[in-house]
Amino acid sequence: MEVYRPRLAGPVPQADEVVATAVRSLVDIDLTDERSLSAAVRDSVAHAEPVSR
């Protein structure tokens, strides 16, 4: 997952607008369950690592 800086200028983010990333396995996520997806996103954002430039 990529976290972008706020207030993007255009509809499609550019590579330099990524401020943090997180990687997660899809094996542990029930893609048919909205709660599972929401929890996966929430946890990924909480554990995202800043991008080094």
| Phi, psi (rounded to 5 degrees) for 2 | -115, 135
| Res 11: pLDDT | 81
Percent of the chain predicted with pLDDT > 90: 60
Q: Looking at residues 22-26, what average pLDDT do you find?
A: 91
pLDDT tier at 7, thresholds 50, 70, 90: confident
| Res 31: pLDDT | 92
Number of structural domains, the chain? Answer: 1
Residues recorded for the chain: 53
The tokens describing 16, both together, are: 């330099």
Range of the domain at 8: 2-50
The residue with tokens 């929401």 is 38
d(CA 28, CA 12): 29
d(CA 6, CA 19): 10
Q: Whole-model pTM?
A: 0.72
Quick one: how far is CA 31 from the chain centroid? 16
